[in-house]
Chains A and B, each alone.
Chain A
């Protein structure tokens, strides 16, 4: 027995080799996380001061209070991770904190436009306390982040609630469609995606995204063998059986219903893309991607023929500058605004920013309607330039990469699928909205994770990061040391 134990140690169970522990043991790297977090906080405070200086030449008076609150929140999140997920990826929190902080700075800058003697026009869709509200939402986001880490101690435990969360997700998606427009419609957009009561609104689809990702992961892990193996090969492509097409068709139908009843193209594309990629990862069958892409094209084409608001998106994408006039909406000149006005203004802003940007507070992002939500990335592009925009894209890219890395590293298939799906959905969401406002693809209004004004998106994004960190914690946590070995080694030593 002693020989077996010794061989076991030598062949790679490094946990019991005290001499090598420092080199090969996966470390929590919480110290690195704290250092990077401090850097993120510093960057955010610097940007906040810079925005104030750019606007009116003074460091904002709220720098100390806002700055301290933000720093305290992020440090609290860090301390929670030390306790709850000590092995989690050290990069995710600093990246999320940086995005959240820069979003707050930009919202402050936009809110101050035209107010308190600052240059620019007042953005009528923002109140003078928008930043305070957004900071409060950030606090709720961090609380939700910690709550997820507390409740979900082991990612696999979520698998038990596959169908519960699936039902919850569907309810959350369907709810705004069933409610009267006065409650669910976002003013001026025609999209029925929120629940607004007494000046307080949430967008349930942001949370539905998380619930559905868990549902897809649980369902697909259970069914992956039959979805992956049954079927025939046609032209070298493994086609699934007709009866296995059910789930795909249901997901497709559900996303089309979202499109039709809620006029929300972006979210419907996001849900369908999420499902498709998770199906592909679960089955490793390319045919699912082809079938899905085909369904998407058919759906998008039919929608563009049947629904004028979808067709308008396409023509706006192709001709954003047609009929756009400087005097749009001006009561004295009587020039109406055209549907492409917002996209064109966003693009003008990006062009105006150029390579290095105007500097925070020096641009005119307030000229773009609803710049604080869907178009916030153009405000960054205008004031921080191509340089700043690329940096933001790289931050998102890093979050996606860390998420996928956790998916590859974790052993349990449910967690693998969930992490892969969540990482992909971040990438897809950034692609859809940033691609939309930069005229790469037709514009569909969805939020920019962490940056856009609005609580639901921010809280859901923090929860998504919490799930990814929980999974990476599981993946990186060293295997528990077999007590038997310990005993045997002592026996050998003693012998």
Chain B
């Protein structure tokens, strides 16, 4: 029987070797895969056992931080300013992470490979793991002013401010917003309730109107039409152009009219700068037809339209779809028909003109700071496209300045509110809805100061009526807040 017993012992040995090999496989090789499985409650709980990094503004205001609360879930996310920064920070819930919380998650959580060495050192020295701090380009003064102004309008709206020379986003707001603190709760019932409330709300507070909702650009698109014209070299702001009261559109019985059916000049020819200043539709409709849909589309592309961006939040594309019919081209040249833009795109129009025709890639993350305060990542500004030549930019800039400074300009009304700051702008009043029955969207794009641009702003107020009435004051508030901030920080 000993022979058989020896064979049995070999069988036992084989069984143990199989168990050992399998344990090595599961705990050694598969551990990483297991950790990333969505059903893994251990890694899920782990994310609340370490202090997640803060999100701070460029002027060092904390806008998302982890507070120690004790218990199994040791840390609770807290957003001090609630809805003001919500479109930027997003929220951090057990379900999902959005906004910067989502895109920079691995750095904030401290699991990014770039933090691995520091984590190891912390492990050796017995310090708890901490996430990295993400510093944004957002300026708290501009952001607060923007939110306050949009909330005052009470209408669904979005506004974005950009530093033209770098593309750094100074403000990014959406209204109505939501309170991320309600979603950052670790109480399942409360979370579920808040989530359902926001998801089912007809006001769509979770929608980021600054970058993920699009509106017709209206007359602000005349910046693109003008740029296309000047880039041909055949036009300048002083070129006289045919300005009928009604523009007959070829092949249809439709007629393009000006706002409130007003005439443009004396019914003959007007300089383009005048048409731009008072925003004549018939001039730019005719000019657009003459230039052609494909030329307008190329120029729209150069301003960053027809593409999605990552800032690092995903930005919905602003669209200028291909147009072939001349009558539709006329409409599209004044920002109607199928043209759609985000408030960010509005800011990018002005930013490109302000930066001598060079459009910088907009971005939100200034730098990432490791827990030991050494910078981990610093964003270097990059060029998105060369929208127009510096010469064309200065021509369009001159026209935009005229919109505010000329007493007949559509935005001349804001001068009294500006306190001496010079602004170059373009208003837009976009008709929408079936047969244009919807309330007009108020659109505004501008940069300031005119001589040395520090900020470019795009604002869209849905159903706000005239761009100069509803959107321009928002832009003014943002510009004033930011210029005051620059002045006071220069003194310091």
Contact = CB atoms under 8 A, between A and B. Distances in A.
A399 to B, nearest CB: 10
Contacts of B26: 347, 350-351, 438-439
A381 interface: yes
B23 A408 contact: no
Contact of B15 (A282, A332, A427): A427
Interface in A352-371: 352-355, 363-364, 367
A376 interface: no
B39 A284 contact: no
Contacts of B39: 321, 324-326, 328, 344, 348
A331 B18 CA distance: 40
Given A352-B35, A354-B27, 10 more contacts: A284-B3, A326-B39, A332-B189, A348-B39, A351-B26, A351-B35, A389-B23, A394-B16, A431-B19, A434-B19
A284 B41 CA distance: 50
Interface stretch (B5-13, B228-236, B263-271): B5-13
B2 interface: yes
A120 B241 CA distance: 77
Given A326-B38, A326-B41, A352-B35, A393 B19 contact: yes
10 contacts: A324-B37, A328-B39, A332-B188, A348-B43, A349-B42, A367-B42, A389-B23, A394-B16, A404-B9, A408-B2
B192 A333 contact: yes
B24 interface: yes
Interface in B369-406: none
Interface residues of B, number: 45
Nearest to B40: A348
A445 interface: no
Interface in A268-286: 277, 280-282, 284
Contacts of A347: 26, 30, 34
B191 to A, nearest CB: 8
Contact of A364 (B4, B9, B20, B41): B41
B384 to A, nearest CB: 39
Contacts of B15: 427-428, 430-431, 435
A283 B112 CA distance: 62
Contacts of B20: 390, 393
B5 A420 contact: yes
Given A280-B4, A424-B8, A427-B12, A326 B44 contact: yes
A434 B41 CA distance: 22
B2 A351 contact: no
A326 B94 contact: yes
A333 B23 contact: no
Interface in A20-42: none
A138 B32 CA distance: 38
Interface of A: 119-121, 277, 280-282, 284, 321, 324-328, 330-333, 344-345, 347-355, 363-364, 367, 381, 385-386, 389-390, 393-394, 396-397, 400-401, 404, 407-408, 413, 416-417, 420, 423-424, 427-428, 430-431, 434-435, 438-440
Contacts of B6: 408
Contacts of A120: 72
A417 B28 contact: no
A364 B1 CA distance: 47
Interface string B106-149: 00000000000000000000000000000000000000000000
A385 to B, nearest CB: 7
A222 to B, nearest CB: 14
Q: Which among A326, A390, A424 has the greatest number of chain B C-beta atoms within 10 A?
A: A326
B239 interface: no
B42 A352 contact: yes
Contacts of A330: 188
A277 B4 CA distance: 9
B314 interface: no
A326 B186 CA distance: 14
- Minimum-distance CB pairs A-B, first 7: A351-B34, A324-B39, A332-B188, A386-B27, A427-B12, A351-B31, A431-B15
Contacts of A282: 1, 4
Interface in B182-221: 188-189, 191-192
B22 interface: yes
Contact of A348 (B8, B23, B42, B94): B42
B192 A364 contact: no
Interface of B: 1-9, 11-13, 15-16, 18-20, 22-24, 26-28, 30-35, 37-45, 71-72, 94, 188-189, 191-192
A27 B11 CA distance: 30
Contacts of B94: 326-327
Nearest to B7: A280
A223 to B, nearest CB: 14
A28 B22 CA distance: 38
A281 B8 contact: yes
Contacts of A326: 38-41, 44, 94
A342 B16 CA distance: 23
Contact of A386 (B1, B4, B8, B24): B24
Nearest to B15: A431
A253 to B, nearest CB: 24
Nearest to A387: B27
B1 A404 contact: no
A434 B16 CA distance: 10
Contacts of A390: 20, 23-24
A393 B16 contact: yes
A127 to B, nearest CB: 21
A333 B44 CA distance: 16
Contacts of A397: 12-13, 16
A435 B19 contact: yes
Q: Which of A328, A344, A386 has the most CB of B within 10 A?
A: A386
B37 to A, nearest CB: 6
Contact of A355 (B12, B28, B45, B72): B28
A331 B13 CA distance: 47
A324 B43 CA distance: 14
B37 A348 contact: yes
Contacts of B11: 277, 424, 427
B77 to A, nearest CB: 17
A422 to B, nearest CB: 12
A183 B44 CA distance: 39
B5 A404 contact: yes
Contacts of B19: 393, 430-431, 434-435, 438, 440
A281 B4 contact: yes
A423 B12 contact: yes
Nearest to A285: B4
A327 B93 CA distance: 13
A428 B11 CA distance: 10
Given A325-B39, A326-B38, A396-B16, A417 B23 contact: no
Contacts of B16: 393-394, 396-397, 400, 427, 430-431
Contacts of A121: 72
Contact of A393 (B9, B23, B191): B23
Given A351-B31, A353-B27, A430-B19, A400 B5 contact: no
B5 A281 contact: yes
B42 to A, nearest CB: 5
A146 to B, nearest CB: 28
Contact of A284 (B4, B27, B30, B191): B4
